[in-house]
Amino acid sequence: MVYTEKRIEHALRQGGYKITPQRRTIINAVINSHEHLTPAEIHGRVRRENPGIGLVTIYRTLEILASLNLICEMHAGGNCRSYLMRRPLEHHHHLICSDCGTVIDFTDCNLGELERRLSKETSFKISGHLLEFVGQCRKCRGKTLVGQDINA
């Protein structure tokens, strides 16, 4: 399940934001991709449809969408920021290659119990969590000469 254009526009209006053609185009670009896209990549896609659109508008729109919790902002290797449509009923976690930045998504995690315990111990009302594993993917592991892990 993914947010539809309608639902997103509704959420924008609710938040007091206007629906502009630029925003529509950006939203569609994000909806229609299942990958993480950087602002520059989104700009590239959006320009195909609307060549005049500026990178600044991409940044501004993404910021709004993220603040409304409609998209998920990610930070991974290199430079650095990327966005993905949120899929409301799923969790969305990442396994990131620290060398090449490849991101693998996974949705299952068994943090329910931990969350309950923390919540009880701290009196927090927990609304979400971020879980990221970092490591080396198979390809990058191959490239490294040494695997000296002084932990071993």
Contact residues for a copy of itself, defined by CB under 8 A: 3, 7, 10-11, 14-15, 66-70, 72-77, 79-81, 88-89, 95-98, 104, 106, 109-111, 113-115, 118-119, 122-138, 141, 144, 146-151
Q: Which does 4 bind (CB under 5 to 8 A by kind): DNA, a copy of itself, none?
A: none
Q: Which two tokens stand for residue 143?
A: 């490239």
Residue numbers 42-101 binding DNA by CB under 7 A: 50, 52-57, 59-61, 63, 78-81
The single-letter DSSP state of residue 37 is B
Which of the ranges 37-45, 87-95, 113-121, 130-138 carries the binding residues for DNA, by CB under 7 A?
A: 37-45
CB atoms within 10 A of CB 86: 19
Q: 32, 87, 83: which is closest to 61 by C-alpha?
A: 83
Contact 5, 27 (CB under 8 A): yes
Half-sphere exposure of 88 (CA within 13 A, CB side): 9
Q: 45, 44, 36: which is closest to 72 by C-alpha?
A: 36
- Return the amino acid letter for 128: G
Contact 36, 84 (CB under 8 A): yes
Residue numbers 2-31 binding DNA by CB under 7 A: 13, 16-23
40 binds DNA (CB under 7 A): yes
Q: Which does 6 bind (CB under 5 to 8 A by kind): DNA, a copy of itself, none?
A: none
Minimum CB separation of residue 146 from a copy of itself in Å reads 7
**Binding region for DNA (CB under 7 A):** 13, 16-23, 38-40, 50, 52-57, 59-61, 63, 78-81
